[in-house]
Amino acid sequence: MTETAASLIHPGWFAAIAILLWATSLLPEYLTALLFFAAVAVFRAAPPEVLFSGFQSDAFWLVLGGFVIGTAIRKVGLADRIAGLLAGRLSGSWFTMVAGVVVLTYALAFVMPSNMGRIALLMPIILALADRAGLTEGSPGRSALALAVGFGTYELSASILPANVPNLVMTGAAERAYGAHFDYMSYLLLHAPVLGILKGALLVGCLAWMFPASPLPIERQNGSPRLTAAEWRLSIILLVTLALWMTDSWHGIRPAWVGLVSACLCLLPRIGFLAGEEFAAGVNVRTCIYLAGILGLAAVVAWSGLGSAIGDKLIPALPLDPARPAADFASLIGLASLLNFVVTANGVPAVFTPLAASLAEHTELSLPSVLMSQVFAYATPLLPYQAAPIVVAAGMAKVPTSAAVKVCLVVGVVSFVVLGPLYFLWFRALGWIG
C-alpha cells in the first residue's frame, strides 16, 4: 500500500470502531486492543511512538506491578490473615457488618492496586463470613455484602491514585497529551473526603437500608498462628511501598517505579515469593494489553487533533460560562457521565482527556481542574456494565442483576444530587477553582 493511500484513512475511524467494540463487548477487550494496534500500524494512521505509547506510560507499569504484588499477597496468606482477624469484629450489627466490609475494601485499596485482585481476594472471605452469619445464598443480606465488595472496591478506590484502572488511564493520557503529572498525596487530599469517606458512608447507608438483614453473631477467634518469615518480608515490602507512594512529592520517585521495584523484590529468588510460573499465572496480560490499547487510543486521538475536533462540536452545546464556575463544573461532570454510557468507565478518560484543553479554554478553569473533574463521573456509574469490577463481583456472588442496577441508580442519583455540590465546594476550598 502506498503512503498516499494510507494517509486517506483518518485514525479517528479506527478509534471509533475500537470504542464501539469495547462498549458493546462484541470482542474480548484485549483482542480489540490488538486489532486497534494492528489496523493503525498497517495503515500508518499514526506514528508507532504515538500508537504504542501506552507501553511506555506509568499506568501500564503500575498495573503490571500491582498484579505481581497482589499475587504475592494472596500466596503468602497475608491478606487472608488480616481479613480473618477482622471478621469477628464485623458482626456487632447489620450496619456494622456492612460498614466493616466497605471499610475493608477501601483499606485494601491503599496496599493492593488491582480492583480485580481485591475482589478475587475478598469475595470468598466475605461469602464465608455471610455463611457464618446465617446469610444464605439468595438472601438480601448476602447480596448486600457482595455488592459492598464490588461497589466499595471500585467506587471508593477512585480516590486513590494507583488503585483504579480509570485513574491510571486518565493520568497516563494526561501525561502523554499535556505532560501533566499528579502526585499521590495531592490527589488523595482532593478526592478522598468526598469520593472516599462521604461516598463510603453513602454506600453503607444505601446497602443497609435497601437490603435489611439480621445476621447471627460471629465469635471472635482467640489467637492466630505467628507470622511466617515470608509474611514478615512481604509486610515490610508493603509498608515501604506505601510510604514511598505517599511521599512521592518529596523524593520524586513516581508511584509506577516504586511499584515496579516492589514487584521485582517479590520475584527475586530467596528474597521474593513467586516463581516464574506463578508470575505468568498472576499477571493478567489481557488487562495489561487492554490498558495499553486504551492509552494508545487516547494518544492517537490527541495526536490526530480528533479530540479538538470533537470538542469544537460538543463544547458549543454545553452551557459553559466563565462567570458561572459551578455550572461549568457540573457541565464537565455531566459530559463525562454521558461518555460513561458509551465507552464505559475505563474509556471515559481516553475520550475526555483529549478534550480537556478546549474545555479549560472555554470555562477558564485550570487544565488540572478540568482533568480532575472527570473522576467523579467515572467513579459514579449509573448502570453496572459501566464498571467491570461491579459486574465481576455480582457474578461471583450470584447477585441478581436487578439488585446491582438498583444500587447503581440509588447511589448514583444521591451522589450527583448531594455529593456533586460538595465535591465542587471542596475543589474551591483547596484552591483548584478560583
Flag whether pLDDT at 279 surpasses 60: yes
Residue 38 inside a domain? The answer is: yes
**E strands within 86-159?**
none
> pLDDT tens digits, residue range 146-167?
999 999 999 999 999 988 889 9
**pLDDT (0 to 100) of residue 1:** 39
Phi/psi of residue 216, nearest 5 degrees = -75, 150
Residue 185 inside a domain? The answer is: yes
Among 241, 415, 284, smallest CA distance to 337 is for: 415
Please provide the average confidence, as pLDDT, over all residues in the chain: 87
- The domain total for the chain is 1
> pLDDT tens digits, residue range 344-368?
788 889 889 988 988 998 899 999 9
**pLDDT (0 to 100) of residue 222:** 63
Spatial distance between the Cα atoms of 323 and 170, rounded to a whole number of angstroms: 27
**E strands within 285-418?**
none
The tally of CA atoms less than 13 A away on the side-chain side of residue 222 is: 0
Residue 359 inside a domain? The answer is: yes
Spatial distance between the Cα atoms of 94 and 84, rounded to a whole number of angstroms: 18
Residue 198 inside a domain? The answer is: yes
Spatial distance between the Cα atoms of 248 and 182, rounded to a whole number of angstroms: 10
**pLDDT (0 to 100) of residue 221:** 61
Locate cell 444464605: which residue? Answer: 136
Residue 256 inside a domain? The answer is: yes
Task: Spell out the SS3 assignment of 167-182.
Answer: HHHHHHHHHHHHCCCC
Structural domain of 237: 3-429
**pLDDT (0 to 100) of residue 209:** 96
> pLDDT tens digits, residue range 370-385?
999 999 999 999 988 8
**pLDDT (0 to 100) of residue 2:** 37
User: pLDDT > 90: what percent of the chain?
Assistant: 40
Flag whether pLDDT at 253 surpasses 60: yes
267-303: burial string, b at 16+ Cβ within 10 Å, e else = beeeebbbeeebbeebbbeebbbbbbbbbbbbbbbbb
The tally of CA atoms less than 13 A away on the side-chain side of residue 392 is: 18
| Cα dihedral across residues 124, 126, 131, 136: positive or negative | negative
- DSSP state string for 285-320: HHHHHHHHHHHHHHHHHHHHTHHHHHHHHHGGGS--
Residue 434 inside a domain? The answer is: no
**Non-local CB neighbours of 338 within 8 Å, separated by 6+ positions:** none
Residue 25 inside a domain? The answer is: yes
Spatial distance between the Cα atoms of 180 and 186, rounded to a whole number of angstroms: 14
Rounded mean pLDDT of 412-421?
A: 97
Among 131, 143, 155, 132, smallest CA distance to 394 is for: 143
In contact, 86 and 100? CB cutoff 8 Å: yes
Rounded mean pLDDT of 58-81?
A: 81
Residue 78 inside a domain? The answer is: yes
